[in-house]
Structure 1
Amino acid sequence: MIEKLRYKFIIITMGSVFFVMAGILLALNGFNYIHARNRADEVLEVLAENDGSFPQLEGPRNNFGPGNAINSETPFETRFFKVIANEEGEILQIDTSRVRSVDSELAQSYGEAVLTGDKEKGYLDDFRYWKVMQEEGTQLLLFVDNYRELETFRSFLRNSIFIGIASLIMILLLVVFFSKKIVAPVQENLDKQKRFITDAGHEIKTPLSIISANNDVQELIDGQSEWTQSTRNQIVRLNRLVEEMLSLARMEEGSFIQKMESIELSKVVREEITPFQLLCEQEGISFSTSIEESIVIQGEKESLRKVCSILLDNAQKYVTEKGMIQVELKKEKKKVVLSVSNSVDSLPEKLDRLFDRFYRESESRNQRVGGYGIGLSLAQAIVGQHGGSIEASSPSSNQIQFDVRFPL
C-alpha cells in the first residue's frame, strides 16, 4: 500500500511538473516562431508596397514598416527574390539579384509551386513567400530568406527540449529520493494501526471466550433462552469481525498466504457453493451455477475458499426477497473468471467504493443483514496477493455482479 502511495505521489508530481514545463516550453518556442514569421511578414509587406524592392532611405537608422521593426539597415541584411507571373500563372520575370543561394531555375520552381498552391502566404524550405495580386493583373511572388530567424528558433527548440529533459530527470531523482521521507509518516501510522488491530484483536478474543463460556454455563444451569441465544449470536458476530480484521492485517503484512500451489478452483468453488445453495433454497431464492470443470490455478487453498465464501455470503445477505443468485466459473482468454451476481432492490451509487474498508452503502440495510464492510476489502487483498483483480459491475438496474480474475 505504501509503495503504491509512493508511486502515485511520484507520478502525480512528475505529471504536474511535466505539464507545467511543457506549457512553458511550448509558449516560449511558440513566441519565437511567431516572432520569426512576423519578422519575415513585415519585410514582405514593405516589399509588396514597393513592387518588390525596398524604398530608398538616407540618414540615421530610423525604423519604418509595419510595427516599426525594420530600419535603414534592413535592405542590406535581407536576402530575397521575386517572381512575376500573369493571371494564367505563366512566369514573366524572375529577379534573383538580391540572393546568392537561389538561381533562376530554382526560383522558377519555387514560383510554380506557389502558383499551383492555394495559399497566399507560407513557407517553402526556409523562404517565407507572399503571393500579391497587382493592379495591372499580374501576380507578384515575393520570397524572403528566413533562414537565420528559423535557425535561431530551431536552435532554441533543440536546447529547450534538451534542458527540459535534463531538468525532468533531475527533478525525478529528487522526487524519488524525497518521496521516501514524505510517505514515512504514513508508513509509521499504518504500522501503528496494524499493531493496534493485531493487539486489540488478540485482547478481544480472551473476553469473548470467557463470555462464551459463561453463556454456556448459564444455559446448563437455566436452560437455553432467547437471551442466551442472542448473546451467542453477538459473540459469533464479534468473533467473525476480529478474524476478518486480523486476516486483513496479516494480508497487508504479506504473511497471510503461506504457500502457493496448484489448486483445482472448480472443486473449491463447488465445495463452498453447497451450504449457501441449500440455505438459499430454504429461503425461496433462485440459485443457479455454471462451473467449468478442471480449472487449475496457482494459489493458497484456504485463501481462495475465503474469497468464494465472502462473495457468496455477500450475495446471500443482499439478494432481494425471492430473488436470484448466479455463480459462474470459466476460462476467458488467459484468465480464470469467477462471477457472483445477485438481484438487488437498488444499486450502490459508487460500486468501486464497495471495496473500501468499513464502507457501507446503507446504515439501516447493514444493521438488518449484519456486516462491517471488511469482507470485500479482504477479498480484494487476497485476490491481489494471487496476482488477480476484482471489480463490481451492474449488468442491469436491479442486479450487481462481482468478477474475480485470476491468471492461469
Structure 2
Amino acid sequence: MIEKLRRKFILVTMAIVFLVMLVVLVALNATNYFHTAERADEILSVLAGNGGKFPDEEFSGKAFESGSIPPNQAVSIETPFETRYFTAITNSNRQIIQIDTTKIRSVDSEAGQIYAEDVLASNKTKGYLDDFRYKVVEKEDGTFLLLFVDSQRELQTMRAFLQNSLSIGLISLVFIFLLVFYFSKKIIKPVQESIDRQKQFITDMGHEIKTPLAIISANNDVQQMLNGDTEWTKSTGKQIHRLNGLMESMLQLTQMEEETYQPKIEPINFSQVLREACEPYILIGEKKNVTVSLDIQPNIIIQSERDAINKLCSLLMDNANKYVREPGTIQVRLDSHQHKIRLIISNTVSEMPQNFNRLFDRFYREDQARKHTAGGYGIGLSLAAAIVESYHGQIQASPLNEETIAFEVVLPLK
C-alpha cells in the first residue's frame, strides 16, 4: 500500500510539474514565434506600401527623429541594408509577369518564379514558405504584388531557442524527478508510520479480544446447558459469531495489505471453487425469490491459493445476496481470454450506488439505512479488493443497466 501511495505521489507530482513546464515552454516559444512573424510582417507592410521597395528618404534618420515612422515598427535605419527580399508581380489573371531578385543573392529569377507560383496556388495572403515570410497584396488595378522576405536567420534563432528550451526542460524534468523520488520517502513516512500503527493496533486488538470472546462464548454455552436456549443466549451467540467474523476479516485484510505478504501458489480449478461457493446461495435465493444463474467455463486453472480464491468468490456472492432486490436475479459468469480470467457477478438492485469506487473502501456503506439490516461488517469488498490486488489483478463495480450492478474481477492466468 505504501509503495503504491508513493508511486501515486510521484506520478501526480511529476504530472503537475510536466504540465506547468509544458505551458511555460509553449508560451515562450509561441511568443517568440509571433514576435518573429510580427517583425517580418512589419517589414513586408513597409515594402507593400512602397511598391515593393524601401523608401530611401524615410530611412535617412529624419523620419525616426520626427516620429513619422512609429517606434513600434521592426524597422530602423539599417533595415534596408539588412533585409534580403524579392518581389513578383502578376496581371489581373494572376499570371506572373515580373520577378525582381536584385535584393537577394540566394534566389534567382527561376526560383523566384517557383516560389511565386506556389504562393498563388495556395490562395493564402501571408505565411511562411521555406525560410521566406511572404505577403500577397492586391492592387487597385486588379494585379497582385507578391513580397518575400528572407527570414532564415530569425527562423534559425527561433529553432535554436526551441531546441534549447526543450533540452533545458527535459534536463529540469529529470532533475526534479530525482528530487521528488528521493524526498518522496520522507514525505510518505508519516503516512507509513500511521498505517503501521493502525495495522499493529488491529493485530493486537484481535489477539486481545479473542480471549474475552472465548470466555463469553463458554459462559453462554453453560447458560444454554443449564437453562436451555433462550432469546438472550441466542442473541449473545449471534453477536459473538459476528465479532469473531469481524476480527477474522480485519486480520486477513491487515495481513494481505502487508508489503511482505506472499500468497501460497498452487494450481487451482477456479471453475470448481466458484461453483462450490455459489451452491449455498442458490438455495438461499430460492427462499428469497431470487434466481441465481451460473455461466461458468469449465476447468479454468489458475496458479493461486485455494482459500484466497474461495474467500474472494464467497465475498462477492455474499455481497450480491445481501443487496439483491427481491424478487430479482444474481448472474455469475466466468471465462478466460488472452491469458486472463474474467469473473462477473451481477445482481439487480433497488437503488443504484452513487459512487462505485467507494464501494471498496473499508467500512463504507452506500445505504446507511441498511447498515445493520443487510448484515456483514462493511469490509467484505475491501477484503475482496485486497485479494485481487495481491494477485496483480483488477476489480471494479459498474452498472449494467438502470437496475443491475456488476462486479468484475480480472486476474492474470498464470
Q: How do residues 5-404 of structure 1 correspond to structure 2 at under 5 angstroms? A: 5-57=5-57, 58-59=60-61, 62=64, 64=69, 67-253=72-258, 258-404=263-409
Give the deviation of 1:164 after TM superposition.
0.6
Q: Is the 8 A contact 2:44 2:147 kept in 1?
A: yes
Q: CA contact under 8 A between 2:43 and 2:74: conserved in structure 1?
A: no
Instruction: Give the deviation of 1:9 after TM superposition.
Output: 1.0
Is 1:247–1:256's contact at 8 Å kept on the other side of the alignment? Answer: no
SS at the partner of 1:370?
coil
Report the CA distance shift for 1:241/1:155 in structure 2 as closer, same or farther (over 3 A).
same
Does the Cα contact within 8 Å between 1:317 and 1:369 map onto a contact in 2? yes
Question: Deviation at 1:349?
Answer: 1.0
Q: Is the 8 A contact 2:263 2:390 kept in 1?
A: no
CA distance in 1, matches of 2:128, 2:409: 58
Q: Name stretches of at least 5 consecutive residues in structure 2 with no aligned partner.
A: none
The 1:358/1:55 distance shift into structure 2, 3 A limit, reads same
CA distance in 2, matches of 1:300, 1:202: 25
Question: Where does structure 1 differ by over 6 angstroms across 4 or more consecutive aligned residues?
Answer: none
Deviation at 1:219, TM superposition (A): 0.9
Distance (whole Å) between structure 2 residues aligned to residue 318 and residue 90 of structure 1: 80
Partner-residue secondary structure (3-state), 2:257:
helix
Aligned partners of 1:322, 1:31: CA distance in 2, in Å? 66
Q: CA separation in 2, counterparts of 1:322 and 1:302?
A: 31
Give the CA deviation at 1:66: 7.8
Relative to 1, partners in 2 of residues 1:312 and 1:118: Cα closer, same or farther, differing over 3 Å? same
Question: Cα deviations across residues 170-215 of structure 1 (Å, max 9, x unaligned)?
Answer: 0111011111110011111110000000000111111111000000
Q: Is the 8 A contact 1:351 1:392 kept in 2?
A: yes
SS at match of 1:119: coil
TM value normalised by structure 2: 0.94
Question: Is the alpha carbon distance of 1:117 and 1:286 closer, same or farther for their aligned partners in structure 2, counting shifts above 3 Å?
Answer: closer
Classify 1:286/1:137 alpha carbon distance in 2 versus 1 (closer, same or farther; 3 Å).
closer
3-state DSSP of counterpart to 1:182? helix
Q: Contact conserved, 2:88 with 2:99, CA < 8 A, in 1?
A: yes
Provide, for residues 51-100 of structure 1, a one-character-per-residue CA deviation record: whole Å limited to 9, x for no partner: 11111232468272683331221111111111112112222222111111
Give the AA of the match of 2:315: I
Q: Following TM superposition, by how much is the alpha carbon of 1:238 offset from its aligned partner in structure 2, in angstroms?
A: 0.5
Q: In 2, Cα distance between the equivalents of 1:349 and 1:190?
A: 28
Q: Distance in 1 between matches of 2:261 and 2:89?
A: 85
Deviation at 1:116, TM superposition (A): 2.4
- Give the total of aligned pairs: 408
The 1-side partners of 2:56 and 2:259 are apart by 85
Encode CA deviations 1:90-138: one digit per residue, 9 max, x unaligned: 2222211111111111111112222222011111111111111223332
After superposition, the Cα gap between the structure-2 partners of 1:283 and 1:56, relative to the gap in structure 1 and judged at 3 Å, is closer
- Give the 3-state SS of the residue equivalent to 1:70 in structure 2: coil
Identity of aligned residues (%): 54
Counterpart of 2:298, as a letter, is E
Take 1:257 and 1:174, find their aligned partners in 2: how far apart are those partners?
31
CA contact 1:257–1:300 (8 Å) conserved in 2: no
Match of 2:25, as an amino acid? L
Partner secondary structure for residue 114 of structure 2: helix
- Residue 293 of structure 1 deviates from its aligned partner by 1.3
Q: 1:257 to 1:130 in 2, by over 3 A?
A: closer
Letter in 2 for 1:17: V
Comparing 11-20 with 326-335, which one deviates more in the overlay? 326-335
In structure 2, relative to structure 1, the CA distance for the partners of 1:139 and 1:287 (3 Å cut) is closer
Coordinate RMSD, CA, aligned: 1.7
* Conserved? CA contact 1:42–1:66, under 8 Å: no
One-letter identity of the residue aligned with 1:56? D
Return the alpha-carbon distance in structure 1 between the equivalents of residues 54 and 38 of structure 2. 17
After superposing the two structures, state which structure 1 stretch, 372-381 or 66-75, moved more: 66-75
Could you list the per-position Cα deviations for residues 319-368 of structure 1 after superposition, in whole angstroms to 9, with x for gaps in the alignment?
A: 22332222222223432222222222111111221111110112221211
Change in 2 beyond 3 A, CA 1:72/1:295: same
1:244/1:137 CA distance change after superposition, 3 Å: same
Moved more, 127-136 or 355-364: 127-136
